[in-house]
């Protein structure tokens, strides 16, 4: 992973919707460490525990997760997620303020956000990692609306990495 010489300290913040986001960050963290960069992890709960076990020497700063709850039946999942939108939006706003503080206190040079929409900064390069550019919905107009919202958030970042693509390569 070729790295820009001005980047010394990286904050990586995986989403807390299962451990897939955290495990996807492991090779990225390894690559950053191989470039002798300082890596700080922003996470809580099982995500923080997994990454702490994988990287015991790294600093982990607690960052409140989205704490989304899933429905027990597939046909009630959309309704369950929709009722949690205010909580999700509130967490995104919290992340934005939290990132502002971390950039100042920790002197962050790069932010890598695995699907955390509020983990970006206007003056610090910010990367959004996702495998879901299109959020599927049972109704086409809902899918189009979700895609528009998704892109509005993604476009706030400096770059978007899609690790599912065969040609995925990280350049900082």
Tell me which residue of 91, 142, 136 sits closest to 117, measured CA to CA.
91
Mean pLDDT per 10-residue segment, the chain (172 residues): 75 90 93 96 96 98 86 74 86 97 97 97 96 78 85 94 65 46
3-state secondary structure of 153: helix
pLDDT of residue 171: 47
Cβ neighbours of 119 (radius 10 Å): 27
Phi and psi at 45, nearest 5°, equal: 60, -140
Tell me which residue of 100, 97, 130 sits closest to 116, measured CA to CA.
130
pLDDT of residue 67: 82
Tell me which residue of 1, 55, 62, 11 sits closest to 32, measured CA to CA.
1
Domains detected in the chain? 9-161 (3.40.50.2000)
The overall longest dimension of the chain from CA atoms, in Å, is 50
Cβ neighbours of 38 (radius 10 Å): 17
């Amino acid at each position: 992973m070729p790295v820009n010489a001005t980047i010394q300290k990286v904050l990586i913040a995986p989403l807390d919707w299962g451990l897939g986001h955290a495990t996807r960050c492991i090779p990225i963290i390894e690559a950053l460490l191989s470039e002798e960069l300082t890596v700080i992890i922003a996470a809580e709960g099982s995500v923080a525990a997994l990454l702490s076990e994988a990287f015991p020497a790294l600093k982990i700063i607690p960052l409140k997760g989205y704490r989304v709850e899933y429905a027990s039946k597939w046909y009630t999942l959309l309704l369950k997620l929709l009722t949690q939108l205010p909580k999700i939006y509130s967490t995104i706003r919290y992340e934005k303020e939290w990132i502002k503080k971390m950039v100042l206190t920790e002197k962050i040079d790069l932010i890598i956000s695995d699907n955390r929409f509020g983990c970006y900064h206007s003056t610090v390069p910010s990367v959004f990692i996702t495998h879901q550019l299109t959020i599927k919905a049972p109704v086409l107009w809902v899918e189009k609306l979700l895609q528009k919202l998704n892109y509005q958030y993604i476009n706030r970042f400096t770059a978007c990495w899609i690790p599912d693509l065969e040609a995925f390569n990280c350049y900082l």
